[in-house]
Structures are given as structure tokens and as C-alpha cells.
Structure 1
Amino acid sequence: MGFLWNRSQAPRPTTKQSGDAAEAQALALLERAGLRLVARNYRTPGRGGGEIDLILREPDGTLVFVEVRRRASLSHGGAAASIGVAKRRRIVFAARHYLMRLPALPPCRFDVLVLDPAGPQWLKAAFDAE
């Protein structure tokens, strides 16, 4: 007897698909707030680098590096609590790498956009470059 597949159940989205959907939702929220997309999923070359989910520009020229976090539940502190020191360091590393390519340094900040059951939360200036 072979494996029975229940065709009425849709396959669960992959982690990548869920992450892409969260980033798309976050981007839509930020664009409605007046920010303009500069780059998406910026990665540093090589191993051990960092990634920035979204890089946007405020109307005043401020470059905003955004980490998008989605959690299905609020247990363990929710999505915002999942951004630890190591994750912040990788984001800052990637931001510095990105900024080295620019002819002049604009004002910058690090935001977090949290998508969880409590609703979206935009945490402006959530952390510093340390």
C-alpha cells in the first residue's frame, strides 16, 4: 500500500515563501507611508556576512535599513524579541558594506517591521550601529 495524499490539503508554504510574503507586506506598508524602495534582500558577498531585508529612502533622504520579522504567535516575546545581538551585528555589517558603495553618506537608521498576531508594528530606530 502506497502513501495516501489528501488532495484537499494545500501544501504549507516554505520558510522562504513565508519570508517573501512578509517582506512584500512590510514593503507595501512602508511605501504607503511614503518611503521608496532602494534595494531588497541586500547580501554581503562571501560567507559570514549579513543580509538586509529592505533598504528604503525617506522623503527627507534618510536611508532606512529594515529588518522584517513575522511570527505566528506572541510566545517567546513575539517577533521583535527574536532580533538578538548577533543578528543586529550582521545587519550593521551589511549596512556598512552597502554604504561603502555610495559617494556620500546619507543619514541612516535601522528599523524593524514586526508582523505578528497583534498586528504590524513599525519600530523606527529600533537599534543603533553600536
Structure 2
Amino acid sequence: MRQARGRAAEDAALAHLRDRGLSLLERNYRCRLGEIDLVMREGDELVFVEVRARGSERHGGAAGSVDAHKQRRLRLAARHYLMTHPRAAAWPARFDVVAISGPDGENEPHWIRAAFDGAS
């Protein structure tokens, strides 16, 4: 059930971002250092996207769940992506979060551009 909810949240986030002009480069990029839900491109900018779904806003909600530890793992996975995709390494990059809340993820995705920086 949790996997299905996560996949549905990623699908909703992807549709939301595509509707706003971003293009998908890779989905669920995994390496030993971590995972990036969506790697996208907006113009000449590379966008690493973390998708979070939560049933309620308690305890910080979906966006609040991207804590310092999660940010560090995302930065490490992004560095790995850039090392293995040298053409993409030339583009400026940012980290976005798409937060989806509600018991069944029924709320509109909340897109947080440049949610945190790439420096650790």
C-alpha cells in the first residue's frame, strides 16, 4: 500500500511539473548513496525533485519531512548523478520538493522551487 501511494504521488507530481513546462530526464535515479525521485529539466536548469506524500499536516506535513538527513542523501545522490551524466553537469542545478497531503493524496501538489541549496 505504501509503495502504491508513493507511486501515485510521484505520478501526480510528474504530471504537475510537466503541466508547468518541465521535462523528465529520469525517474527514480538510484545509487548506493541515495535516490532521487525525479530528475527534470526546466529550460537550461537541472532540477532534482523529491516527492513527499503525507496523510496529514501533523508533525510538519509532507514538506517538513525533508529534513537535514534527507537533504544530505539527496545532495550525495545528485553529485553521483552529475558524475555519471557529464553533459548534465554543465547545467545549473537546484533541489525542489513536491509535497502532496491528504489521506488519499487528494490535495493539489505543492511545488516548492529551490527548497534547499546544494551546499552541505
What are the ranges of 5 or more consecutive residues in structure 1 without an aligned counterpart? 1-13
CA displacement at 1:119 relative to structure 2: 3.2
Choose between structure 1 and 2: higher strand proportion: 2
Residue 110 of structure 1: aligned partner: 95
CA displacement at 1:61 relative to structure 2: 1.4
Question: Counterpart of 1:50 in structure 2: which amino acid?
Answer: G
Question: Counterpart of 2:34 in structure 1: which amino acid?
Answer: G
TM-score (norm 1): 0.83
SS in structure 1 of the partner of residue 15 of structure 2:
helix
Question: Counterpart of 2:112 in structure 1: which amino acid?
Answer: L
Larger Rg: 1
Counterpart CA distance in 2 for 1:25 and 1:55 is: 15
Match among 11, 20, 30 for residue 43 of structure 1: 30
Counterpart CA distance in 2 for 1:41 and 1:28 is: 15
TM-score (norm 2): 0.89
Question: Counterpart of 2:82 in structure 1: which amino acid?
Answer: L
Match among 111, 116, 127 for residue 116 of structure 2: 127
Choose between structure 1 and 2: higher helix proportion: 2
Structure with the larger RCO, 1 or 2 (CA within 8 Å, 6+ apart): 2
CA displacement 1:98-125 (0-9 Å, x = unmatched): 0012134211000000001353210000
Identity of aligned residues (%): 52
- Aligned residues: CA RMSD: 1.2
Residue 96 of structure 1: aligned partner: 79
CA displacement at 1:127 relative to structure 2: 0.3
CA contact (8 A) 2:12 2:109 kept: no
Q: Which runs of 4 or more aligned residues in structure 1 lie more than 6 Å from their structure 2 counterparts after TM superposition?
A: none
Deviates more, 1:89-98 or 1:117-126: 117-126
Counterpart CA distance in 1 for 2:11 and 2:109 is: 13
Counterpart CA distance in 1 for 2:3 and 2:109 is: 20
Match among 35, 58, 68 for residue 85 of structure 1: 68
SS in structure 1 of the partner of residue 21 of structure 2:
coil
